[in-house]
A and B are shown apart, each in its own frame.
Chain A
């Protein structure tokens, strides 16, 4: 434990983190007693509707492993919203991370970051997760990416190429058009730096192809031609749900190892009355309740006893943080898919939920 950590532990009972943060952030906007904040240091347009942000986190940042996702929280119109993005760079000695983000049409956070974020803005970083990470031993790799699924793959590739490759590595990268390709220059120079690395781009909506570019959806012949030794490759795939599923069907049976990450779609909303699973993260309990019933009543019917007061949405006694899932406000029918505090008495589940209870 360093001297500053010891001092911190000693004075902690006297410090109100909110007050500390308020004054510390007058000095530097990313200082915080306990939260991991990061400042946007630069913006770079990467492809159509896509930018890369270089972030400088404060000392609370725990780091990440190449290939993992990271929760990023930003404030949009006064509301803090959280999404996961993958750093698209290898670990850097100065601790900076690069996030590459594509604006999606209905995406509040991605549109905010791509169109409105400025150098100097502060975002909050949360936990990292994901198991598409690199093992210590060398291996033959096939990376398959579609769209912004390239971001964790880029981090993995850059990490691998910090040393000369011992075994073959291939990347097959799908995008709609050439204008949608991220890291074109980086990939081009990476491709030249090691003869064991092969990079293939597949464009699905480009009218004319240049030499070396492919087209069409994932299909068996394409994989067979590009990677004849599939059975010795470890395969990591990242892309939209449908894409990942079709690659899985084609490749998983033959590959030496198969791991995939797909962009998490909005929570699956069921019809009212259908059972959903509610996980209470603090008590480590899961129960099945009917969707469409106010959560307080449904949890009580399952034999649980959450705190409550007025049972009509006034007193806030039964409020707790919803960590994931979709709920409906039973008074006005408003659907809330974001993590946020919910009052159990006036909200019902539309999907599986995780509550901080």
Chain B
């Protein structure tokens, strides 16, 4: 009994193991070399890949929307809705998310430019570039800086203080999942500040303008224009679009939560930022992320965020390269004794659900400095 206890302890200690500063310097140099090797190899192959994804988005959207016009016929409605859902998922993840990281900027193609790409979501791309590309990717899993930790509504780590509010968390999590695109869209608007009087209504409205404009455009597209085009058969189109958006919301939520909120993922205090070296930064990215193992289809449909670790190490390398990079990243991690968190969708998502349920209930508050 005692021996098995120790082995459990050892295992979790091993997962949190942080190599020495010198080891981390060498670790960082190896990852840098891998990065350079990949960057210098970018070319035709990557260009062809992303254009195939663009084509897949275009065809699935047209087929999906086309079939929904015949939505009174149930099989057409089902297939149409699924195809539109797939189009939206691909557009958001493998295309939009990745292009906006500047992964294809080297192609110098104005339609694939990270700075100007706009996606089929209610949130504006500009807003996403700030909350995600900047906040989340620079300050990954640093408590108090990375606002993706629970998105301000969920308690997922013992390092967050419990309040009775969190008892309702299983419900909030479900609502958040269904409305994920809206949650992400308003993440940076800070309604909290407005409600406790730190921001005037006028300021609030001003900040909301780009979001309102984008949301209006999206709503008109999905719930007015396309239904109108269907004439008398507008009801199945509205429903199909609603369900397709819902499918996309649930899927992206699942993938993103599996990437950062599995059982062994670690949080960091702000103090790690002081004199953080490249090696430390890489270490934090790996310990703050978790991968999904699975088929090629899973990787494409998740925008290769199933390789969340590689994405966090190299956010500007085309994501379809992550699968081949992961072999080397895993080997490098093994050499330095850094835990590489990977598991099936089922196993990782169960751990997410466990966190949502477990930390809705009171638990001993663990001060962040002690945990790191």
Contacts and interface: CB of A to CB of B under 8 A. Distances in A.
Interface stretch (A248-256, A264-272, A278-286, A337-345): A337-345
A319 B108 contact: no
30 contacts: A19-B58, A22-B54, A22-B55, A23-B58, A75-B107, A78-B42, A78-B46, A78-B48, A79-B106, A80-B107, A309-B130, A310-B134, A314-B138, A315-B137, A315-B138, A315-B315, A316-B100, A316-B101, A316-B133, A317-B130, A317-B133, A319-B102, A319-B105, A319-B114, A332-B32, A332-B36, A341-B102, A341-B105, A341-B114, A341-B115
A78 to B, nearest CB: 3
Given A79-B106, A316-B114, 8 more contacts: A77-B43, A77-B44, A78-B48, A80-B109, A312-B281, A313-B316, A334-B40, A338-B108
A320 interface: yes
Contacts of A91: none
Contacts of A79: 43, 47, 106-108
Interface string A297-336: 0000000000001101111110111000000000110100
Contacts of B54: 18, 22
B133 A315 contact: yes
A18 B111 contact: yes
B138 A309 contact: yes
Contact of B133 (A17, A19, A314): A314
A122 B46 CA distance: 20
Contacts of B47: 75, 78-79
A191 B129 CA distance: 62
Contact of B45 (A78, A314, A315, A338): A78
Contacts of B138: 309-310, 312, 314-315
A41 interface: no
A340 B105 contact: yes
Interface string A66-100: 00000000010111110000000000000000000
Interface centre among B46, B100, B133 (most CB of A within 10 A): B133
A21 interface: yes
Nearest to B115: A319
Lowest 3 A-B CB distances belong to which pairs? A78-B47, A309-B134, A310-B138
A22 B61 CA distance: 13
Interface of A: 17-19, 21-23, 75, 77-81, 309-310, 312-317, 319-321, 331-332, 334, 338-341, 343
Interface in B38-89: 39-40, 42-48, 54-55, 58
B113 A78 contact: no
A308 to B, nearest CB: 9
A80 to B, nearest CB: 4
Interface of B: 32, 36, 39-40, 42-48, 54-55, 58, 100-102, 105-109, 111, 113-115, 129-130, 133-134, 137-138, 281, 315-316
B137 to A, nearest CB: 5
A319 B54 CA distance: 23
B43 to A, nearest CB: 4
B130 to A, nearest CB: 7
A313 B137 CA distance: 11
Given A319-B115, A341-B115, A310 B107 contact: no
Contacts of A77: 43-44
Contacts of A312: 138, 281
Contacts of A343: 102
A323 to B, nearest CB: 11
B108 A340 contact: yes
A309 B101 CA distance: 13
Instruction: Tell me which of A78, A309, A331, A343 has the highest count of chain B C-beta atoms within 10 A of its own C-beta.
Output: A78
Given A309-B130, A315-B134, A21 B111 contact: yes
A314 B40 CA distance: 18
Contacts of A341: 102, 105, 108, 113-115
Contacts of B101: 316
Given A309-B130, A309-B133, A316 B102 contact: yes
B105 A78 contact: no
B103 to A, nearest CB: 9
A316 B43 contact: no
B88 to A, nearest CB: 14
Contacts of B281: 312
User: Which of A75, A315, A334, A338 gathers the greatest number of chain B CB atoms within 10 Å?
Assistant: A315
Contacts of B109: 80
A341 B138 CA distance: 20
A321 B110 CA distance: 10
Nearest to A331: B32
A316 B107 CA distance: 15
A18 B118 CA distance: 10
Nearest to A82: B108
A315 B48 CA distance: 25
Nearest to B102: A316
A32 to B, nearest CB: 11
Contact of B108 (A313, A314, A315, A339): A339
Nearest to B103: A316
Contacts of A332: 32, 36, 39
A310 B44 contact: no
Contacts of B129: 315-317
A112 B134 CA distance: 38
A341 B315 CA distance: 16
Nearest to A308: B134
Contacts of B115: 316, 319-321, 341
A91 to B, nearest CB: 28
Contacts of A320: 115
Contacts of A18: 54, 111
Given A309-B138, A310-B134, A316 B316 contact: yes
Contacts of B114: 316, 319, 341
